[in-house]
Structure 1
Amino acid sequence: MYLNWDKIMRFNTNLKALDLGAGTGWLSAFLSQYNNIANIDVLDSDEKNLNLMLPEVVRIMGGNMSKINPILGLFQPLLVGDGHYDLIVASSALHHADNLFSLMRELRRVLRKGGKLYILNETPYPFIRY
């Protein structure tokens, strides 16, 4: 399925976003280019991804590093209040969760009412090893 980000972003302003399990931050770099995005918390458990790769990926992709807040940590607990985020994105990340059901409850907690959660590039059967 193709997401039309221009259409998604057109209806919202000053969005607070979370990129969960961001890896090198390519999705954050992309989203940071939108005027509607106020800031993006970029959460990953790999310090090298956040400190070395993320700034370079943002630069190469023409993103806006001033909107990006790198956070070294795990999926849970998310150290923000209830309803903190307008937008949560997770690309190729959720299969790393220790407990997917618990994580989904946590994401629902931190997502504001009417907020959006986009899960991208996820394997439908994470318990099957290749």
Structure 2
Amino acid sequence: MSAEHTLKKRSNEEFDSWSKSYDKSVLQWLLFDPSHKMIVRELGDAGKAHILDIGCGTGKLAHRMITHHRDARVFGIDLCESMIRSAQHHVVSEPRIHLSVADSEHLPFEDATFDYLTCSNSFHHYPNQAAAVKEMHRVLKPGGRLFITDGYRDNLYGYLIYDVAVTTMEGGKVHHLSAADFRKVFADAGFQDVCQTIVRFPAPFVLTRGTAAEP
């Protein structure tokens, strides 16, 4: 069994046990809700866009996006089956949200399928982050937009939260990129017009956005 497979298996087991209390976590207020609101604002007028939410968890961001963009279709994937079951329970009456179990490094979609791709607060769990971003680029249409939010660890506050506390609690199974490394990973995958917004309170996070180049 490869090291990457082992990390994914452990992460899956962790989220399986967390799925029942996930929506009640203080992280919803500290981090998840602020980052979700920012992503929805970034989408602007999405119209009839096809949106893929990677690491969709219990479906909160997917539901928020479809609430604000009524003509869009949202596809959510997560590696954890328990998270997808929770998400399906939350959006059972919403036919424009489509959920499935899938791996961020092996997305089950054709090339150039989506107009927008979102990934909120799960990227630090991906063992091969560069491969994941390249896969994201593959399934975006040329000119499509990628938005990733994750913990900002480039100041002392963020370092203590993410590099010390979170990494210790997760047994070293996570890796938060610096803002500069995020920009490099985007550029190496073929994204253009890469830029970032940093939020420092209540929990610091960075939004990195980029536009998929022509193949």
TM-score bucket (shorter structure): 0.7 to 0.9
How far off its partner does 1:117 sit? 0.8
Q: Distance in 2 between matches of 1:79 and 1:7?
A: 25
Shift in alpha-carbon separation, 1:71–1:7, aligned structure 2, 3 A? closer
Match of 2:87 in 1: 54
Q: Distance in 2 between matches of 1:43 and 1:35?
A: 20
Q: Distance in 2 between matches of 1:13 and 1:58?
A: 20
Q: Is the 8 A contact 1:26 1:58 kept in 2?
A: no
Q: Distance in 1 between matches of 2:82 and 2:128?
A: 25
Q: Distance in 2 between matches of 1:7 and 1:70?
A: 22
What CA deviation, in whole Å up to 9, does each residue of 1:16-54 have, x standing for no partner? 1111001111100101111231x2111011212212x21
Q: Is the 8 A contact 1:55 1:65 kept in 2?
A: no
Match of 1:67 in 2: 96
Question: Which segment drifts farther, 70-79 or 84-93?
Answer: 70-79
Match of 1:123 in 2: 151
Match of 1:8 in 2: 43
Q: Distance in 2 between matches of 1:95 and 1:8?
A: 23
Match of 1:107 in 2: 136
The runs of 5 or more residues in structure 2 that have no matched partner are: 1-34, 154-161, 169-215
Shift in alpha-carbon separation, 1:49–1:105, aligned structure 2, 3 A? same
Alignment of 1:91-106 (within 5 A): 91-106=120-135
Mark the structure with the bigger radius of gyration: 2
Shift in alpha-carbon separation, 1:86–1:74, aligned structure 2, 3 A? same
Q: Report the structure, 1 or 2, having the larger helix content.
A: 2
Percentage identity across paired residues of the two chains: 21
Q: What is the one-letter code of the residue matched to 1:35?
A: R
Match of 1:43 in 2: 77
Aligned-residue CA RMSD (Å): 2.3
SS of the residue corresponding to residue 66 of structure 1 reads coil
SS of the residue corresponding to residue 131 of structure 2 reads helix
Q: Distance in 2 between matches of 1:13 and 1:26?
A: 20
SS of the residue corresponding to residue 98 of structure 1 reads coil
How far off its partner does 1:82 sit? 1.1
Q: Distance in 2 between matches of 1:24 and 1:107?
A: 21
Q: Distance in 2 between matches of 1:86 and 1:49?
A: 24
Instruction: Please report the TM-score for the alignment, with normalisation by the length of structure 2.
Output: 0.51
Q: Distance in 2 between matches of 1:35 and 1:114?
A: 22
Instruction: Please report the TM-score for the alignment, with normalisation by the length of structure 1.
Output: 0.80
